[in-house]
Structure 1
């Protein structure tokens, strides 16, 4: 079987495993093993958590140090979409030109962003305390867009449009944040594409390289491919008609003594102001994509920005041609641009709003019991969106959990003034009064809650609890009967709470 078909088959199998994993996680609740992602570097060094993502990160780094960037060629799930795009383009006789540009500096920006995220974790939580939790996952609701259609559109258009404009494996060469890091470890690998027979200079290897490496030149100079962009896809070994190349291990001195190679290309196809425009477009669209859709889409947003930049460059290159003729001859670029603009506009209008993202971010700190941090984020949201009652309710809860009952009361009163018929709000306000020791006012709020919703059993139970705490068992029983249909359950509850152990009663009241 052709090596390219084998690689596509392996990538298809990996994506199938991902689908099975997601199905087991969300559909069947099998959550013993979390996500597999190179984002595990944040889990490991930021939080000290050795989860499945962190273990996966360690595995990929070690594999790269030994075998080179084999994972990029044979294991990356996004490589599957790029391979499929190339196959489909080939069916229509389209061979996208590989663009060489310093715009791949965007990769280093993303890598730096990841490192600063680790540093931010240190600032918030202190030095990481290492522990194992394979089932803990980094998937955060705040980072996921509302509609899965948006994800599908981003994947499809980034795979096809990006490759069409920037060449094969454009995502790997320009926006993948892990490429610069893996390139460092690739320098130490002794498994490389090596010269095993005489090279006749046919350039079949270079023409087949999906990463745009001048393979024949490196073979002529070093007898080995030293470029850290090499992803060991083995397309060059398959294309060589003379059997010159082979993927082998060898203690070649060039692998040890040569200087560290980086991903910044030695040659570029455009002048410096085009390069700056490409970088600017990539970064600015990535920034706003993250703001609108969350960090889950940042890398794909950068690809959109680079596509915009390429469309502008191609338009400027054809600026000597009259506009009407440009539209006729460059129609495919205009169509691609309209599709891009339309899709981005749709993503913007259907994305999770900024106030909800702040709310979800604050909720995350509530789950971590970081109440002060959550309060700060909720207040930020309230300052920008004062009419958002959902955020205000979360802020009131955070104040209550943090023991700041006076501020919690203020927030709940504001909520009730906006929605006076909400029984749950009166019940929550009563609970704050209870915790603050104001039993009389707590009972007033609980009774208001019951008047608004006679089926709110929590309010009945809370009133019964206060009467038990005050020693009024007879007054508590009518309310507790609303909570416990069976008499023996109610009596057991009373016997559990109605005793001198004040601490136990307080704990139950909370």
Structure 2
């Protein structure tokens, strides 16, 4: 009876449990609502606050531009140093997707098993150093001074706070959705809840460091029964009950302060409050027993190698895949590779509820796993092939740009032809065709065409220029050059089309108007010729060739006075026309 009375009093003394998860869900949903309102304001007003992108810190560190993203990052860092990692669990849009994925999976009775890796946990720190520290090391090695902090506007190339280019640093809708799918859902299924936060997020690495100095911590309030319910509900996989027993507070920087542990404590013995910062705890890690790691050292090294390969293959693939998506993809592929290896060695294997192998044989799910593995391998090899050719093409393109002698009569260089070969491989085999890559390929073909034309090899020049305007038709100069070669080869109908396209993309090109007018006159379209030749003269008043050609058109139309005026003006502007003008006017009389 006494024990029952004490338990009853303890239960009665426990405070009412709060549902922090519901409040946090509302807060995280508000993040997406604010983003939507921000986007709508930009669409309606045409100008809005620059996106609060944390990666814009790099523009501040590298160029000295104070951006809205930098200010936002500074505010979050200061808050984290004092209060802990509240932003990660209450304000991060990726964590919102991760927790949503975990909740949805729980509804279909799938509880992803969190993995424990020795090496993967260092990926966020390595990524953070690569993004923010390595550029500064390069600056120091190159003896470049630190840039002065300053503000900019859109007119200066990159606005600090107010911009009309809201989407300037954001991926397209397709890549955004893919990033959300991989970073928010796939990685949770593969690596466990908040897998992206633990194994991929470089900003999380920064906040982990800041959290070590924070006095705001999850603390024990009175005696703890060590029931472990706080640890069971922690989606960040912090051993809350052991930390509280060892230190009286949670020192693990993986704690995101989502407060679920406080809500879960049946006795109300856990609270958030001020305590000694974790940085002041000596030998803390050794005082908390940790679960064993899930991988052998060979598997750890294999996963590290896969992540490095993924960075080389997928980052910047097709000028689309961003760094964070590459990190998440690399982590997923790393664990998938380990599972493939285990499928060859183990009699039984499963991934969550997905039974891959049982009693030494592949199950139906295992055959699906094998098919998916084959497709992933094929995609990775194909992507590596494309990435190699794109990298080599861009490298050679830069060397060609530094030696533009090829455009002034020299034969096409070996580097130029090799660059064309690499880019053509990307065009032929790539799943997507980046616009910048097409522009560079067209530029190389255009340079080759000009060089060959200077050598008198007009047929070969026409072939290169035809490819240039096929790959990137929006280059008016290439269209014009193609028209010149076609006209010289006698393919005048095709030349007319090339000149028309040149004028479409560069309406103020006087030379294109003049050449088109000349060809139209030769084809008998005198009205069209008159229009384009007049336009050429309007664009360039001192244009002897256009005046001469228009004078000839007027002679053909019988407008002798107008023709005389134009022809005499042409002879005055360019003496080489004088003899032709005298003969034409004499014949007209």
Same fold (TM over 0.5): yes
- Tell me which residue corresponds to 1:390: 439
Q: For residue 174 of structure 1, report the CA deviation from its aligned partner.
A: 0.3
1:144 maps to 171
Give the structure 2 partner of residue 447 of structure 1: 514
Mapped to 1, the partners of 2:166 and 2:105 lie a distance apart of: 35
Q: Residues 70 and 231 of structure 1 are in contact (CA less than 8 Å); yes or no, is this contact kept in structure 2?
A: yes
Match status 1:60 vs 2:76: yes
Matched, 1:423 2:499: yes
- Contact 1:381–1:391 at 8 Å: present in 2 too? no
Structure 1 357/320 Cα, relative in aligned 2: closer, same or farther at 3 Å? closer
Q: Distance in 2 between matches of 1:153 and 1:423?
A: 42
Q: How does 1:102-121 map to 2 (within 5 A)?
A: 102-115=119-132, 116-117=134-135
Residue 271 (structure 1) aligned with residue 296 (structure 2): yes
> Are residues 53 and 260 of structure 1, via their aligned partners in 2, closer, same or farther at CA, if it must alter by over 3 Å?
farther
Residue 334 of structure 1 corresponds to 369
CA shift for structure 1 position 51: 1.8
Aligned position for 1:405: none
Report the counterpart of residue 183 of structure 1 in structure 2. Answer: 208
Partner of 2:346 in structure 1? 320
Contact 1:144–1:293 (Cα < 8 Å) also in 2: no
The aligned runs of 1:88-99 (5 Å cut-off) are 88-99=104-115
Show the counterpart of 2:331: 306
Deviation for aligned residue 1:280:
1.9
**Structure 2 residue corresponding to 1:209, chosen from 234, 237, 260:** 234
What is the match of residue 149 of structure 2? 130
* Contact preservation (8 Å) 1:392, 1:415: no
Partner residue of 2:92 out of 64, 68, 76 = 76
Aligned residue pairs: how many? Answer: 438
- Is 1:2 the counterpart of 2:19 in the alignment? yes
Sort the Cα spacing of 1:475 and 1:375 in 2 relative to 1 into closer, same or farther, 3 A. closer
Match of 1:50 among 53, 60, 66: 66
After TM superposition, give the deviation of residue 396 of structure 1 in Å.
Answer: 12
Distance apart, 1:299 and its partner CA: 2.1
Q: What secondary structure does 2:49 align onto? A: coil
Counterpart secondary structure, 1:202: coil
1:467 corresponds to which of 498, 520, 541: 541
Tell me how far apart the structure 2 counterparts of residues 415 and 243 of structure 1 sit (CA, whole Å): 80
Select the residue among 28, 41, 44 that pairs with 1:24.
41
Counterpart of 1:369 in structure 2 is: none
Whether contact under 8 Å (1:194, 1:247) holds in the other structure is yes
> What is the deviation of 1:219?
1.0
Cα distance, 1:105–1:30 mapped onto 2, change above 3 Å: same
Give unmatched runs, 5+ long, in structure 1. 366-371, 399-407, 433-441, 480-510
1:195 and 2:220 aligned: yes
Shift of 1:168: 0.7
Give the C-alpha shift of residue 170 in structure 1.
Answer: 0.1
Separation in structure 2 between the aligned mates of residue 381 and residue 46 of structure 1, nearest angstrom? 32
Distance 1:71 1:375, change over 3 A: farther
Cα-Cα RMSD: 5.0
Contact 1:107 / 1:177 at 8 angstroms: preserved in 2?
Answer: yes
Q: Which residue of 2 aligns with 1:439?
A: none
CA contact (8 A) 1:186 1:228 kept: yes
> Which residue of 2 is the match for residue 15 of structure 1?
32
My pick for the range that moved more, 223-232 or 311-320, is 311-320
Query: 1:195-229 deviations in whole A, cap 9, x for unaligned?
Result: 11211111111111111111112111111111111
Contact 1:169 1:210 in 2 (8 A): yes
SS of the aligned residue for 1:212 comes to coil
TM-score computed with the length of structure 2 as normaliser: 0.61
Q: 1:61 to 1:424 in 2, by over 3 A?
A: farther
Q: Give, in whole Å, the separation in 1 of the partners of 2:321 and 2:212.
A: 29
CA change 1:278–1:446 in 2 (3 A) is same
CA apart distance, 1:119: 6.1
- The structure-2 alpha-carbon separation of the partners of 1:232 and 1:220, relative to structure 1 and needing over 3 Å to count, comes to same
The structure with more radius of gyration: 2
Which consecutive unaligned segments of at least 5 residues does structure 2 have?
1-17, 152-159, 349-356, 406-412, 425-436, 448-474, 487-493, 521-527, 552-589
> How big is the shift at 1:131?
1.8
User: Given the superposition, is the C-alpha separation of residues 236 and 443 from structure 1 closer, same or farther in structure 2, using an over 3 Å criterion?
Assistant: closer
